[in-house]
Amino acid sequence: MKWLVFFSLSNTVWAGVQFLGVSIAGGDFGCQIDGSCPTGSTQLPLSSFGQGGGDGDGQMKHFVQDDGINMFRLPISWQSLVNNKLGGTLDANNFAKYDKLVQACLATGAHCMVEIHNFARWNGAIIGQSSGTVTDEHFVSLWSQIATKYARNDKIVFELMNEPHDLDVPMWAATCQKVIAAIRGVGATTQIILLPGTNFDSAAMLVSSGSAEALMALTNPDGTTDNLLLDIHKYLDVDNSGTHAECVTNNTAAFGEVAEFLRRIGRKGIVSETGAAPGGSSCLAKFCEQNAFINANSDAFIGLVTWAAGSFGTSYLLSATPSKQGGKFVNNGLMAQCVVGTWKDAPDSVHPIPTSLAITASLSPTTAASNIQSAASNSEKASEIAAPITSTTQTGQSALILPTPTGPTDTPTTLILAPGISSVLTSDSRAASAVPTTTAGSGRATTTPSGAPTATTSITRSASGSWSTNLQSPTGKLWAILGLFLVAAAL
C-alpha cells in the first residue's frame, strides 16, 4: 500500500512568503480607472517572440534562475481579450498573443497570475451596478472562457480584477460569487482565485470598508473556501497611487490590520501589487521595511508581487525591469535589496511543513528510513526557497492546497501519516499545508479509514503569533522518529 508521510523535524522552518513575484506589465497599457482600455495602447512584453514590447520572456527566466522568484502577474485588459466586444468570445488572435506570454511564464516553472486590469468597469460602467450596461453575466462569460482555457493547469492563478473602486461592496461580492461558481464549474477547481476589494484594493481600507469580510464570506460551489484568497494592494507614496517618487510610509500598520483580520478567521491573502521608486531617496528604507514586515507575517500573507517589469523601461518611476549589462540581466538596487533581499533574509519561523518534506512513497522500513534522512538533509534548503504544499492532479501539475478553516486559530495542528496515492489534503490535514492553518482540537492520535494507526504531533501558535512544536525537545524528536519507524516496520 502507498502512504503519504507528513512529518516535522525540529529544524523545519519557513522563511518569508511562499510566493515572491513581479508584474510583467504591458497588456494593461492604456487602461484608465474608468475601465476604458484602448486596445491600440497594449504592449504585451513579447519582443523575444518578434511581437514588440519588452522582453518578458527573458526577464522571467532571469528572475526565476537568478533570484528564485516563483510567481508572475500578467495584466491584460478585458477589451483586448474580446477585441472590444462586450459579452463576446475571446478573440482568437488577441488571446493567442496573451497566451504566448502565459506559456512563457509557465515554462519557467513559476505560478502565473491572469489578471483583468479594468478597475471593475467597462468603459465607465461598473460591473453589475450600471443599470444593465455591463452585467454580471458579461463578467461571468469572460471568466468562464478564460478558466476553460487554463482549467487543467494548477499553476495558473485567477486575479478577478485589478483595483475595484467606488462601488457597492455587497453587490461586488455577489458578482465575485457568481464568477467563482463559473470558474469552478468549468473544471478549474484547484487554482487560486484572488478576491479584490474596493478603494483600489488598498490594504489600508480592506477591513474598514467591509470588503475583506464580504469577500472572505464567499465560497466554492461545495461550500468550502479552499484556494479563495484575499487580494491586497498598497503603495507607499502620499496618496497610495504609486505615482510619486517619494515614500511617506512603510505600511506596517495597514498590513498589520489585514494580517490580524486574516488570522482571526483562519484565512490567507496575497499582496499582488506594491512598489516604490528606485530613485526615491526615502523609498529604500521604507520599501525594505514594508516587505520585511510582509515576509515576517507569512502566516497571513502567502505572496508578495512587486510592480513592475515587462514592457516598462528602466527609467519608469516604479521600474522593477532589470537592465542588460554584459549580456546579462541585472536588478536595480531597490529590487535587489527590498524585494529579493528581504525575502532571502527573512528570519526563520516555525510553520507547517513545506512540500519538500512531504514524502510520497511505497514504504518499506528501509525506504522510510531513507526518506526521513533525505528530508532532514533538505530542510535547510526548504527554509531558503519557499515552496507550497502541493497536490498531484490528473495532469501531473502541482496544485496549491489552502483548505477551508475548520476551527479557532489558536489551536494545535495535527501532522498525520495517512494512506493514499495522491497528496491532496483534506480540510482536516491542516499541518500538512505550507502555511499556518488550523484545525479544531489538539494534537491527537487518529486512525486512517482502514484502521491503521497514524503518527501525530502538534504545532501551536500562541496569542503573540509565535509558533512552537513539541518536536523541539529531544524527547519529542525521539518519539516522532521512533513512531515513524514503528509504523513503517509494521507495514
Whether 273 is catalytic is: yes
Report CA-CA distances (Å) from 335 to 130, 288, 292, 319: 40, 10, 13, 9
Residue 403, all three cell numbers: 483548505
Integer-rounded Cα radius of gyration of the chain: 22
> Helix (H, G, I), strand (E, B), or coil: what is residue 270?
strand
CB–CB of 112/106 below 8 Å? yes
- Residue-wise burial string across 293-322, b where 16 or more C-beta atoms lie within 10 A, e elsewhere: bbbbbbbbbbbbbbbbbbbbeeebbbbbbb
Q: Which residue has the cell 509558533?
A: 467
On the question of a cis peptide bond just before residue 308, with omega within 30 degrees of 0, the verdict is yes
Q: Which residue has the cell 488570522?
A: 263
CA 157 – CA 194 distance, rounded (Å): 8
CB–CB of 332/346 below 8 Å? no
Q: Give the max Cα distance, the chain.
A: 68
Q: Which residue is catalytic, options 115, 137, 159, 163?
A: 163
DSSP for 352-373, please give it.
SPPGGGEEEE---HHHHHHHHH
Residue 380, all three cell numbers: 535547510
Q: Which residue is catalytic, options 213, 273, 289, 380?
A: 273
Residue 150 amino acid letter: Y
Report CA-CA distances (Å) from 27 to 37, 97, 160, 290, 411: 10, 10, 15, 27, 44
CB atoms within 10 A of CB 229: 25
CA 197 – CA 120 distance, rounded (Å): 10
CB atoms within 10 A of CB 118: 29
Residue 362, all three cell numbers: 511505497
CA 171 – CA 176 distance, rounded (Å): 9
SS3 content of the chain, % helix, strand, coil (to 5): 35, 20, 50
CB–CB of 452/419 below 8 Å? yes
C-alpha closest to that of 433 among 414, 454, 409:
414
DSSP for 245-261, please give it.
SS-----HHHHHHHHHH
CB atoms within 10 A of CB 205: 21
Residues known to be catalytic: 163, 273
